[in-house]
Structure 1
Amino acid sequence: MTDLRQHAPERMIPPTDPPSVPVTVLIGNPRRGSRTAAVARHVTGALRTGLAELGVRLGEPHPVDLAELGADLPSRLIAGTAAHAPLEQVLARVRGPGLLVVVSPTFKGSYTGLLKLFLDMLPREGLLPGTVAVPVMTAGWAQHRYVADAQLRPLLVELGAVVPVRGLAVLEEEFGDLDAAVAGWTTAAAPVLAAVLRSCQTPSVGPHRPAEPVPVHQPAQLR
C-alpha cells in the first residue's frame, strides 16, 4: 500500500512580521506644555521614521509627562507605599522592555530634579532586560551640547538600560527648526538602534506587557 503521506505537499507557513517595539517617552520638564515635550515628540517621530526605513517598526509612543505627575511624586517617595495606583502603573510602564526615550531640560548643568525624583523610585537596575534607552536634553548654552552624554547617559546605564547611541542635545536656538537639529543625529543613530532593537526582540516584546509593580521599599540611596 502506498503511503500517501510521502507525496503530500509540505504545508507552507507564511512568514510573520516581527512585533512592533513598545516605545515610552519620559519627559522630565516640570512645566506643562513645555518646549521640551515638543522636542520629545519630534525626536520620537524622527526615530519612528528612520527605524521604519530600516525594517524596525516602533509602536505608538506612550508619553509619560512628569509635569502631570509632579504633585504625587514626593509623597510616593517619602511614604514608600503603593497608595498611588496610577503612579505605580506609570513606573511599571517605564520599566518595561522596548525603546525608552528620556528627555529633560538642562537645569544647573544637569537633568531636572523632578526626573531624578521619579527615577529614584525604581530599584537598582530597575529597567528590565530589553530596555534600550535614548538620552535627550534641551539646553540654553552651547557649552551644554554634551550634557546628555555627561549627565543623563550614566543614570540610565546605572538603572540597567542599554544606551547604544550618543545622546542628543537640542539648543534653544535650534527650536525653530527641529528637523535640521535632529536630522544628522537620527541618521547616525537609527542604524545602531535598529541593530540593537532587533537583537532584543523576543516573542515577549510584542504588545506591551507592563512590568511587575515596583517594590514599596525605599530606594537604596535613601535607606
Structure 2
Amino acid sequence: MTRVAVVVGNPKPRSRTYDAAVRLAGELGAVDPLVVDLATLGPALLDWSDSTVSGLVDEVSSADVVVVASPTYKATYTGLLKVFLDRFAPDALRGTVAVPLMLGAGPGHALAPELTLRPVLVEIGASVPTSALYLLDGAYDDPDAFTDWLAVNRPLVAALLASTEGASA
C-alpha cells in the first residue's frame, strides 16, 4: 500500500490550502494520508529537540508520496513551511515522490511553486516528476481546477510508484 503524507504550510489551521492538499492526495490515490497541518504545531516547530515534530519529519520521510502545500506569500512559500523543511536532512526524502502545490490570489505567481518550492524538495532528496500545481484561492474547492493537472500528472506519479515498488520487490 502506498504511504501518502500531506504537509500544509498555511499559518491558518484547516485552511483552503489544507483542503486543496488533502483533495489532491486523494486524487493521487491516498486512502488515509498522514496530514501535517503545521499551523497546529505552534512553537514546537522552532524547538529542534521537540519529539513530536521530529516524529512527523520521520513519518513524512518514510512516505512514498508527499504533497507539500503552501499559500503564496511574497511570491514564495511560507516561512512556516520553510522552518519545517529545514529539519530534513539533505537526502531525507530519497525515494519519495513529492508534489508541490501552492495557492495564490492571482495568476501572476503561477510559477512560484516551480521556482521556489520544487528546488527545496529536490534539495532534500525528493523526486519531483510532475509539474507543480498552482491553484487560484477561489478555485481551491473546484474539481475542475484539478482536472487538467491530474490528466497529465497522475499517470506520472502512478508509473513512478509502480517502478519503485517493482524495484523493491
Paired position in structure 2 for 1:60: 32
CA shift, 1:112, in A, is 0.3
2:69 and 2:38 mapped to 1: Cα distance? 11
**1:179 lines up with 2:143 in the alignment:** yes
CA shift, 1:87, in A, is 1.5
**1:27 lines up with 2:25 in the alignment:** no
- Of residues 40, 47, 67 in structure 1, which corresponds to 2:21? 40
Conserved 8 A contact 1:27-1:103: yes
1:204 and 1:29 mapped to 2: Cα distance? 35
- Of residues 132, 141, 162 in structure 2, which corresponds to 1:167? 132
The structure-2 alpha-carbon separation of the partners of 1:204 and 1:70, relative to structure 1 and needing over 3 Å to count, comes to: farther
**1:150 lines up with 2:131 in the alignment:** no
CA shift, 1:33, in A, is 1.9
Conserved 8 A contact 2:17-2:71: yes
**Which has the higher mean CA deviation after the structures are superposed, 131-140 or 37-46?**
37-46
2:37 and 2:168 mapped to 1: Cα distance? 26
1:161 and 1:183 mapped to 2: Cα distance? 24
Question: Rg larger in 1 or in 2?
Answer: 1
Paired position in structure 1 for 2:105: 140
Conserved 8 A contact 1:36-1:103: yes
Paired position in structure 1 for 2:60: 94
Where 2:5 maps in the other structure, the secondary structure is strand
**1:103 lines up with 2:69 in the alignment:** yes
1:65 and 1:115 mapped to 2: Cα distance? 10
Conserved 8 A contact 1:39-1:178: no
- Of residues 31, 34, 43 in structure 2, which corresponds to 1:71? 43
The one-character-per-residue Cα deviations of 1:103-151 (angstroms, maximum 9, x if unpaired) are: 1100100000010011111122222x32110000001111111211111
- Of residues 144, 164, 167 in structure 2, which corresponds to 1:200? 164
Where 1:94 maps in the other structure, the secondary structure is helix
CA shift, 1:59, in A, is 4.7
- Identify unmatched segments of 5+ residues in structure 2: none
TM-score (norm 1): 0.71
Conserved 8 A contact 2:14-2:37: no
1:116 and 1:30 mapped to 2: Cα distance? 12
Give RMSD over aligned pairs.
1.7
The structure-2 alpha-carbon separation of the partners of 1:204 and 1:59, relative to structure 1 and needing over 3 Å to count, comes to: farther
Paired position in structure 1 for 2:91: 125
Number of residue pairs aligned between Structure 1 and Structure 2: 169
